[in-house]
Copies of this chain bind each other. A is one copy, B any other.
Amino acid sequence: MKDKKPMKSVFKEGAITSEFIGNSIYKHQTKTSIGAHNIFLGQVRADEINGKTVSAIEYTAYEDMANQKFHEIRESAFEKFDLTCMHIYHSLGTVKAGEICLFVFVSSPRRKVVFEALEYIVEAIKADVPVFGKEIFEDESHQWKVNS
């Protein structure tokens, strides 16, 4: 049942749609050893900075290294936690305010496991994966996003 595929790209061009997420949930309904799913979604905020509002983030990445890091995070999470499945998707390119740029999905027989695993994975992504975000304001000026 372990869904441990060989290394593949987690990047998707543009926003991650709610249909994609719903469909991903649907596909797990044949895996009847799963008792608990936990999903994290990162959504682009229309932050106001010095009177200007963020209208989108343009994501770029050092893709080869990023995919390697995603792979390491995945291997390490499967080692630490009793997970049945794990899926990670991250946007590249333009994602508008209100749209989803990160989708992390973990499943396990038991709920305690998914809470721990999901937080571990999301924090590792924020800390270790070379992804860069250019916050585009409504007047087309920009600033570079930094994870806090």
A residues bordering B, Cβ < 8 Å?
18-19, 21-23, 25-26, 28-46, 97-100, 107, 109, 111, 114-115, 118-119, 122
- Cα–Cα distance between A111 and B21 once the two chains are bound (Å): 19
- Cα–Cα distance between A44 and B109 once the two chains are bound (Å): 10
Q: Say whether, besides A115-B119, A119-B115, A43 and B21 are in contact (CB < 8 Å).
A: no
Q: Say whether, besides A39-B41, A40-B38, A42-B111, A98 and B21 are in contact (CB < 8 Å).
A: no
Chain A contact surface mostly: mixed
CB pair B18–A23 under 8 Å, yes or no, is yes
- Distance in angstroms from A36 CB to nearest chain B CB is 6
CB pair B99–A29 under 8 Å, yes or no, is yes
- Cα–Cα distance between A33 and B47 once the two chains are bound (Å): 7
CB pair B42–A35 under 8 Å, yes or no, is yes
From A29, A35, A114, A118, name the one whose CB has the most chain B CB atoms within 10 angstroms: A29
Residue on B nearest A30 in the bound complex, by CB: B98
- Distance in angstroms from A124 CB to nearest chain B CB is 13
Q: Say whether, besides A18-B23, A21-B22, A23-B22, A98 and B36 are in contact (CB < 8 Å).
A: no
Set of chain B residues within 8 Å of A39, measured between Cβ atoms = 37-41
